Amino acid sequence: MPRLYDREIKSRLMLGTAQYPSPAILAEAFRRSGAGIATVSLRREAGAAREGQAFWDLIRALNVELLPNTAGCHSAREAVTTAQMAREIFGTNWIKLEVIGHADTLQPDPFGLLEAARILCAEGFEVFPYCTEDLVLCARLIEAGCRVLMPWGAPIGTGLGLNNMYGLRALRAHFPDVPLVIDAGLGLPSQAARAMELGYDAVLLNTAVARAGDPAAMAEAFARAVEAGRLAYEADPMTPRDMAAPSTPILGKAFL
């Protein structure tokens, strides 16, 4: 299992905690998936619909690592303040850093993200930045102190999968020793398996599970796909080729 900021997680699948039909379904999805990390948005989950303390109690009862996030923040200052509040509430230095720069695509703001990452790393946070697959941005985030990167597969909630295979392959190749987590845009277990086949260390998703007809079954499907994809990566897959190659040897074949 991968180590994230010197903590070993029990699964390569991470799940969000928003949008589930009920608390019971959320808990069952986590149980069947065996997810190792739960992300929690301080801003989104603090409303009356989640009934405050009851929701926090439910999340703690999942018995997984908690990764608070700054979802909904649109500036570095807003994200830093939210992160500081999350640390007080949850008692953890982990923070998934989101600074949104585009309302329609929810694409990260690279400038605000880097600014906030520098501040939070200096304050002792262990930052998980939600970013694009841009190599220069990712290098700057690592220089700022981030030891994990979370590039998107596609815009949040779209289910489009891995939109830029070239960019994601290049990111894995350029940072072979940095844990990389595909965050956002996955809609099918096959897409999660593909991410793992590329050598990514984990995947994080929410909508694809929470909005499925049977969230718990979908969570289990993703868990199996992640396991299969990682096993395939470790098995060293064959290299694709343009020409056919017979799997049956022709040596000893009778010629008529």
Question: What residues are annotated to the active site?
Answer: 96
Residue 117 phi, psi dihedral angles, 5° rounding: -60, -45
Q: Taking the CB of residue 22, how many other CB atoms lie within 10 A of it? A: 9
Instruction: Assess contact for 93 and 87: CB atoms under 8 A.
Output: yes
Three-class SS state of 59:
helix
Distances in Å between the Cα of 226 and the Cα atoms of 12, 112, 223 are 7, 32, 5
Backbone φ and ψ for 14, nearest 5 degrees, come out as -115, 140
Pairwise CA distance, residues 59 & 237, whole Å: 38
CA distance 199 to 180: 9
**How far is the C-alpha of 124 from the C-alpha of 72, rounded, in Å?**
22
3-state secondary structure 40-70: EEHHHHCCHHHCCHHHHHHHHHCCCEEEEEC
Answer for the pair 226, 192: CB distance below 8 angstroms, yes or no: yes
Q: How far apart are CA 75 and CA 197, in angstroms?
A: 34
Question: Cα-Cα-Cα-Cα dihedral of 2, 5, 7, 12, to 10°?
Answer: -30
**What is the bridge-based pairing of β-strands 202-205 and 13-16?**
parallel
